[in-house]
Amino acid sequence: MTVQRDDVTASVTNSLEPSSSPSQRPIRGTLALVTVAARDAQRDGSREHRTPATLPAAVRELCSAWNELAAPHGFPAWGERTSGRLLQDALAALERRPLEEWRRVFALVPRSPVCCGELSSRQRASLVWMLTGRTRDGYEPAEKLLSGTWSIDPEPTATPAANTAGAELAGLPVDTPAASAWKQMLEAMQEDGKKYALSWLARLRGRAVQEGELVLEAPDTYAATWVAQHYGELVRRMAAIQGYTGVRFIAAGEASP
């Protein structure tokens, strides 16, 4: 009985131990190599980034549209580095609808209470969500915006005509360092195609430079407040390129801080 028990125990123990047969080692090794290779490939793909200069032209325009129409209103900007995943999402989005249609979508984002996180979800829209997301009822956010399903706040009635921006730029004064710097910033925006932004910003004047900050004067309090709220981030980025530490918006007749 003892001998039989020992034989059974040895048999069970051997069946639980890992097999050392050569036929099984390559299988485990091959699986491990495939897993590591897939993981490394995925990791390398996530590290693949492109600068604006290396993006396809259509994607570069899509990037500029988002940064011009949505980012100045507090939505995260499309950064200087575009991941491989975002590039693929952008190309797929451009296959679904043309660039001009995406421009209309992006222009509606800041005017939509849903996108601004003011309704039930409390979540502000992001670029990735606009390009790839779906609503609870299965629609793209772009479809909701373009169809009018989501409520849209009206545009300010004082918005000037966009086609007057070029003429206004030509007549901007350059008699002071602040005025000259401001005109250079507006010309840079014009080269970037920021026509709608210029329709507002061309109404401002470079008033002074105080403690490294550029002081900009708007025609009235409403314009100063509206520009600061909607284009303050854009103007500050442009001012930083010029070497200024910040920007202040004041109304005509108001003493600079």
**Domain range summary for the chain, segments of one domain joined by +:** 52-147, 162-251
186 and 202 in contact (C-beta within 8 Å)? yes
At residue 87 the predicted structure's pLDDT band, cuts being 50, 70 and 90, is: very high
141 and 135 in contact (C-beta within 8 Å)? yes
- The CA distances from residue 114 to 101, 110, 124, 143, 156, in Å, are 19, 9, 8, 13, 19
Alpha helices in the chain (DSSP H): 2-16, 25-47, 57-69, 84-96, 99-108, 127-132, 141-147, 165-170, 177-191, 195-201, 221-241
Query: What percent of the chain lies above the pLDDT cut of 70?
Result: 71
DSSP 141-174: HHHHHHHT-S--PPPPTTPPPGGGHHHHHHT---
pLDDT: is 88 or 171 the higher one?
Answer: 88
Q: What DSSP character marks residue 36? A: H
Select the CATH number that applies to the domain covering 162-251 from these four: 3.30.300.180, 3.90.1150.10, 3.40.50.11720, 1.10.287.470.
Answer: 3.30.300.180
- Torsion, Cα 196 199 202 203, to 10 degrees, reads -140
pLDDT tens column, 134-148: 998 899 999 999 998
The helix (H) or strand (E) run that includes residue 83 is strand 82-83
- The answer, yes or no, to whether residue 210 has pLDDT greater than 70, is yes
Mean pLDDT of 36-56: 61
Mean pLDDT of 160-168: 51
